[in-house]
Structure 1
């Protein structure tokens, strides 16, 4: 919201201020000064209210996106064998923990470290110089929730077939390097395909991503596809003909409950 502006020199003539009458000029100046002070108070109040409303909506959206982690955890737990349930739940916690550290140190800078080139950002490492007039911690939290969502998508694709250390390396690399670069291309104002750039390289119009369907879900889906191709099928999850083994009742209920938590929120 643009702040309200007021100038004493512009208001004073409205009260009959003239150079020939010092008394009326002083009174008009005093009245104009008083009104301008009221305008400044109202402007500051509206600015603070607008900032609070915007941040509340942004944080609420971040919590909704983070709720997707619950969906991923329960969906994956219902899709694996009972003996591997603890392992798959731990990998979802690892996404949030390792992803937070890598995104804090490198990822946010690669994604939104403006000014930068069209490929990758190079400011705000370790959230240095934040908060700033354009960025604060609520925006970082919102983008971190998207980053770990991209990593969580892949965890189900390679479930029961990945060692803990290997998944730790994957999760840190995806949230700290791969996903941030892609999000920089489309969501940062400096990105080569950003719709806010008049000289963007994608048909002159750029990309308008809806709810992270391309930046988040496509990155996670492609990473999961390659992981599944490299790892191969889960032993014991499919029979000798390649058909899926029927889920037990409690596992099926977790799949349904996980799907319920797979919420999508329109990007602010």
Structure 2
């Protein structure tokens, strides 16, 4: 005889035991039903669980700022560590101010109508908006988009220029892209009353909206700003036969930053379900956790071993590059972000593998074109953001799209091609999204950076660049590398010699003392 849980819960009273009430409340949450059961406010519990989930996911996304800071700090030379870390900190601050004052309103203002509009016109400074958890989550995304640019232009960009484009990006450029794809009023949105091509663009967590927007901004900035001194040209301006490499000053910080970013991605992708207290949202968030993991692992292995094979064929020696492994991992994460909720784990692996190859190809292309990206953010974010949006149009599964809240009648082109049905509507939407982001960001940010450069606000003085931005802009080096003075070392050795006979000065101590003496002189 089966047990009718619904009938049992309907018959509960305030006198029922607390355990019976708790069981029925949980059943109500799982079923997604909003009502009061036996004196327990199930609707309030559901809202509380969803709010906690969103705040927690937003905190994980915000934690990615620390990941970016560590990755960038480890990737640049020691003389520029303070500068890049301050820029990462100011990304969060500038992103908060810019997105709060106007950015969020441009992105989501006016969403109480069904009209498709280019830009929002309300909710500025959160006026008449009370979903604070939703704002916090979206702010964390905006700060991420701005931070992508920091690493690319590291070691040669003025602080004033950085503040200008950080505010401009989070306050205007990025919000317009957000509105077009994520707002119910966006012309490419899958959530509008009349979506483009009947399905709209599927960019679940922002391969295009966040990463491609930030990565393309970084590409434009790098082209206008120019390469670091000595990277591609000698002091006389002649091209180097082999581009100079500037080794990372701390691989330990790089790997720490990579792991923090991977960890934060579990807020980025599963958190984009926005809710957790119903069966479909819970299933979507769980799938996102798995596809995120598999794409990251596949991208890491793909990039590292592909690079090892290429290098081994060229040199006859097989080596394993940690930088390739780290950036391949991040490439896989960026690539799967668009379709993380609508692709199966095996498809996520394919997306990650190709993402590793995309990273290698774009990284080598930038060097060939003499475009200097200090941390390889353009191949990771722009190139793989592009691939991620495109891959969703190929691999999106109809059943998973329905669970995630999308129109399942139009699925990925590979599925449609395999079944001999469909019209490629989703793939068309994905291509339209790619064209729109490239067109919008290029049109707005290119003249912006050119004007900054013409005004002398973009690039630091060559001498300041040579000395390092920590000393020229931030009152000293990030590390205290001074050793004991030579006089003190000599005095110590004389005292010890008087007691124990001749004492040899350790080579490293003597060298440090000599260096200190030279600096004093």
TM-score tier (shorter): 0.7 to 0.9
Residue 171, structure 1, aligned to residue 170, structure 2: no
* Aligned-pair Cα RMSD in Å: 1.8
3-state secondary structure, aligned to 2:186: coil
How far apart, CA to CA, are the structure 2 residues paired with 1:59 and 1:151? 21
Q: CA deviation at 1:130?
A: 1.9
Q: CA deviation at 1:160?
A: 1.2
How far apart, CA to CA, are the structure 2 residues paired with 1:209 and 1:42? 41
How far apart, CA to CA, are the structure 2 residues paired with 1:196 and 1:96? 29
3-state secondary structure, aligned to 1:262: helix
Give matches, 1:215-230, under 5 Å.
Answer: 215-230=209-224
Q: CA deviation at 1:59?
A: 0.6
Structure with the bigger RCO (C-alpha within 8 Å, sep 6+) is: 1
Residue 48, structure 1, aligned to residue 51, structure 2: no
Q: CA deviation at 1:204?
A: 2.6
TM normalised by structure 1 equals 0.78
3-state secondary structure, aligned to 1:259: helix
Query: Given that residues 117 and 190 in structure 1 are in contact (C-alpha distance below 8 angstroms), is that contact kept between their aligned partners in structure 2?
Result: yes
| Larger helix share, 1 or 2 | 2
How far apart, CA to CA, are the structure 2 residues paired with 1:113 and 1:80? 39
Deviates more, 1:238-247 or 1:93-102: 238-247
- Deviations 1:221-259 (CA, angstroms, capped at 9, x unpaired): 1111111111122225668431323334xx111111111
How far apart, CA to CA, are the structure 2 residues paired with 1:42 and 1:140? 34
Residue 79, structure 1, aligned to residue 75, structure 2: yes
Query: Given that residues 194 and 207 in structure 1 are in contact (C-alpha distance below 8 angstroms), is that contact kept between their aligned partners in structure 2?
Result: yes
TM normalised by structure 2 equals 0.41
3-state secondary structure, aligned to 1:214: helix
Residue 246, structure 1, aligned to residue 247, structure 2: yes
Q: CA deviation at 1:117?
A: 3.8
Task: Indicate the residue corresponding to 2:120 in structure 1.
Answer: 121
Give matches, 1:1-268, under 5 Å.
Answer: 40=36, 42=38, 45-115=41-111, 117-131=116-130, 136-201=131-196, 203-236=197-230, 240=240, 241-248=242-249, 251-263=250-262, 264=265, 265-266=268-269, 267-268=272-273
How far apart, CA to CA, are the structure 2 residues paired with 1:141 and 1:42? 34
Query: Given that residues 184 and 193 in structure 2 are in contact (C-alpha distance below 8 angstroms), is that contact kept between their aligned partners in structure 1?
Result: no
Question: Can you give the 5+ residue segments of structure 2 that lack an aligned partner in the other structure?
Answer: 1-34, 234-239, 274-521
Q: CA deviation at 1:211?
A: 2.2
How far apart, CA to CA, are the structure 2 residues paired with 1:140 and 1:163? 30
How far apart, CA to CA, are the structure 2 residues paired with 1:245 and 1:140? 40
3-state secondary structure, aligned to 1:190: coil
Question: Can you give the 5+ residue segments of structure 1 that lack an aligned partner in the other structure?
Answer: 1-38
